[in-house]
Amino acid sequence: MARRPSDLKTATRWQRPLAAALLLSALSAPTLAADPVLSITATPNPAVQGSNVSLDVLISGINDLYGYQFSLSFDPKILQASSVSEGSFLSSGGGNTFADGGTIDNSLGTVSFIFNSLVGAVPGVSGSGNLARINFNVTGAGSSALNFSDALFLNSSLTDLPVQIQNGSLQALPVPEPASYLMLMAGLTGLAAVRRRASRPAASEPAPVQPAGITQLP
């Protein structure tokens, strides 16, 4: 059955306000928040072979964090883990925490199952901050990947919190050879000698000495 022109006009009048309402609803709908980000930063980076470096494990943009765990792998030819300490973020809400620095294996290059949790029926912590600090000795030169695994984040209802993981890396520079130091010192010594010679005033020439018994005529 064909529609009458009047019916088509009525349908068109309804479609326009409906389309406008749908567009307005889409524009006004709240955007979904991005997942929190787990990342790592090294200080200093690059580091020098034979020195120490601290790696801070950071979380940003998280809501209602009650507990977490993670593991970290590294290149044992370049880094050797020495200690793990609790970060300040989870305790920043005023609650008590229970933390463990995990298990260090410098042969495999892992620190396994670092964890921390609030204690008791308290709300989780929201925001951004430091979860842990891992200290290393830099024993070799090169680039070491720093990769997370076993990541688990829970809210105060003990429900999983999705987290984006950003792995990192550390550059370790070799120690300069002793010959390089000697060449540098020799160059600096030579430069200092040239500068001293250039700044020394020219000595006046001595007057000629007349032989005894000879009188110079005017």
From residue 133, alpha-carbon distances to 30, 81, 126, 136 in Å are: 36, 11, 19, 10
pLDDT tens-digit map of 204-218:
555 555 555 555 555
Instruction: Output the pLDDT for position 27.
Output: 46
- What domains lie within the chain, and their CATH numbers? 37-173 (2.60.40.680)
For residues 102 and 114, the answer to whether their CB atoms sit within 8 Å is: yes
* Length of the chain (residues): 218
pLDDT tens-digit map of 52-99:
999 999 999 999 999 999 999 999 999 999 999 999 999 999 999 999
Q: Quick one: what percent of the chain has pLDDT higher than 70?
A: 67
Assigned token pair, 148: 């997370």
CA 114 to chain centre: 19
How far apart are alpha carbons 133 and 84 in whole angstroms?
A: 6
> Which parts of the chain register pLDDT below 50?
8, 11, 14, 18-19, 21-31
pTM of the predicted structure, to 2 decimals: 0.68
